[in-house]
Structure 1
Amino acid sequence: MAAYRYCEAVTGLQARNFSYGIRLLPEPKRLAMSALYALARRVDDIGDGELSPERKAEQLGRTRALLDEVRTGSVGEDDTDPIKVALADAARRFPIPIGGFDELIDGVEMDLKGVEYRTFDELKVYCRCVAGSIGRLSLGVYGCDDPELGAQYADTLGLALQLTNILRDLREDAANGRTYLPTEDLVRFGCEEGFGAATPAAGADFAGLVAFEAQRAQAAFEEGLRLLPMLDRRSRACTAAMAGIYHRLLGRIAAEPQSVLRGRVSLPGWEKAYVALSGLAGGRS
């Protein structure tokens, strides 16, 4: 179906870390996952785009209306929005909890409002919205031996991935006026001045802050990866590949904290491919 091909192209170009894992799935699940990520990308692009806050809110409202159409089964194959068509077809084939997208939109709306997080518990709510939601949506495609427990692990794995993203993007987010790390942590490590420079502020224990947050992310990885034995082989490989790429990224950041102030830390393509193949072979990286 052309709608799915469009979603696959979006995923391959704009969600490269995730595309390595998605490639390991059998075609029906791979296509459904591409639809999920294409819509998630659209929501993220609305939040990160150049539109006014009012226009962004309007676009997010339209996306919620799209989700209502998917829920009610009122999307026809002649609809001109390929992402909507693909998602509607995927929702007919798999028990996808479409409400997860509403949570994702809730998280983007937090960004639009400039919400700051005083405590880690407050940050976890945001992470559940923007990352845990994707894990739970994905679980609808994968299938799971214990859906309730699996959803909890998927949430925790999403937290691990989002914490890694937050550390990776400290400088970029600061340039956009955003700081996601909890205020209580910034105060504890003397980093209240933020991350707008390539070197930490005088007196700041930046390395200590990164180590502290990396330990949190590591603990979330260890718990969230308990999901793997609950999945079939190919879904397990997909999840292991995606999580493995971010886990390695976290290791790089923890080993050299100031690298995130110099630019975005990433893994070379060959290493991502290696992690993906390790996941297919049953390993964890």
Structure 2
Amino acid sequence: MAFCDDILVHVSRSFAAVIRQLPDRLLVDILVFYLVLRALDTIEDDTTAFASPEEKIDYLLNFHRTALADPDWNLQHVGQGDERRLLQQFPQCHRVYAKLAAPSRRVVADVTARMATGMAEFVRKDLGQGTTNTEQYNRYCHFVAGLVGEGLSRLFAASGLEAGSFAGELHLSDQMGLFLQKTNIIRDYLEDYVDQRAFWPQSVWKKYAATDDLGYFAQSIGTDDGRDRALGCLNELVTDALELVPDCLTYLARLQCQEIFRFCAIPQVMAIATLDKCYHNVNVFTGVVKIRKGLSCKLLLRTNTLSQVHETFY
């Protein structure tokens, strides 16, 4: 358990802070759930460790049969930094996973398998110019984030801290995940384009760009025409993400446990603040837009009730 607690802080400080909101009886389950999916995500993200796309796909599709079944399973040369250390020392995560209650293990294994299947679907796709259309954009977001929302809802229900029916809130759970993922994709335009693994849908950005290159926006932001085109595209994607807000607020309104409410609400509040910062902001095309630490602290302190969340959103 000590390794899991330590590695979480190193791979995600933000999640390490948010997870502390949870009751002890649920904290370990969600900690393990996150680390398992982070390990899977590290495999997906590594573009150099595998000899071929087929090899990566094989690792993804078999992850739940290997990493979650074999207590000695590990990967030594995938990922960078602390993510690599997570894979290298994965047996320490497995030991904690193996001690979870059977219903929690089933949720973790099921979501992991389905997410891996979705990730494998995108391995061979050329994402240098983004996803093909909004359908593919939404599908990718569902696999890498919507399923996380579903898994969390099922773990909430399994813990007894939320009603058993919460496990069936699949649509609302999915929307919660999509809102967070779309916010990240919008914010990370430049980084993703440089990495040649972008997700802005071509069916949207090609309506605005004067060329067939997603990098057009970054390259032409210094001209009036280029700026107008870039901001038009950005604002459409932000508006698309904002359409998820009513479902996110409905989900939060159905939570009964105060600790779970804060755990779920804090990332949503940070996301809406990030979208507010991104909207009509040329800096999205020249670097990474971040909300100020002072604002983050203020939002954390004002995310205790649904009415406070409504005030932040509206």
Give TM-score, length-normalised by structure 1: 0.84
Q: Distance in 2 between matches of 1:111 and 1:269?
A: 35
Contact between 2:209 and 2:216, CA under 8 Å: does it hold in 1? Answer: no
2:110 equivalent to 1:99? yes
Partner Cα distance (2:271, 2:247) in 1: 15
Q: Which residue of 2 aligns with 1:59?
A: 59
Aligned pair in 2 of structure 1 residues 200, 103: CA closer, same or farther (>3 Å)? farther
1:209, CA displacement in angstroms? 0.7
Paired residue total: 275
1:278 aligns with 2:302: yes
In structure 2, the partner of 1:121 is 135
Say which is worse superposed, 109-118 or 238-247, in terms of deviation: 109-118
Q: Following superposition of structure 1 onto structure 2, how do residues 56-205 of structure 1 map, counting pairs within 5 Å?
A: 56-66=56-66, 69=69, 81-92=91-102, 94=104, 96=107, 98-115=109-126, 117-143=131-157, 144-145=162-163, 146-147=165-166, 150-190=169-209, 192-195=212-215, 198-200=218-220, 203-204=225-226, 205=229
Gaps of 5+ in 2: 73-88
Determine which of 229, 233, 236 is the counterpart of 2:253: 229
Distance change >3 Å, CA 255–CA 86, structure 1 → 2 = farther
* Gap change, CA 1:254 and 1:80, over 3 Å in 2: closer
Alpha-carbon contact 1:153-1:225 (below 8 Å) kept: no
Which residue is equivalent to 1:241? 266
Q: 1:13 to 1:200 in 2, by over 3 A?
A: farther
Deviation at residue 129 of structure 1 after TM alignment: 0.2
**Which shows bigger deviation, 262-271 or 16-25?**
262-271
Please say if residues 71 and 91 of structure 2, whose CA atoms lie closer than 8 Å, have aligned partners that are also in contact: no
| Higher alpha-carbon Rg | 2
CA contact (8 A) 2:60 2:117 kept: no
Answer 1 or 2: higher relative contact order, Cα 8 Å, separation at least 6. 1
Q: Residues of 1 paired with 2:11 and 2:68: CA distance?
A: 25
Give the gaps of 5 or more residues in structure 1.
Answer: none
**After the TM superposition, which segments of 4 or more aligned residues of structure 1 sit over 6 Å from their partners?**
none
Quickly say closer, same or farther: Cα 1:61–1:151, change in 2 above 3 A: closer
Q: CA deviation at 1:274?
A: 3.4
Q: Relative to structure 1, is the Cα distance of residues 259 and 80 closer, same or farther in structure 2, using a 3 angstrom cutoff?
A: closer
Q: Is the 8 A contact 1:174 1:196 kept in 2?
A: no
Code of the aligned partner of 2:118:
G
Q: Structure 1 residue 121: deviation in Å? A: 1.7
Give the alignment's Cα RMSD to 1 decimal. Answer: 2.7
Normalised to the residue count of structure 2, the TM-score between the two structures is 0.77
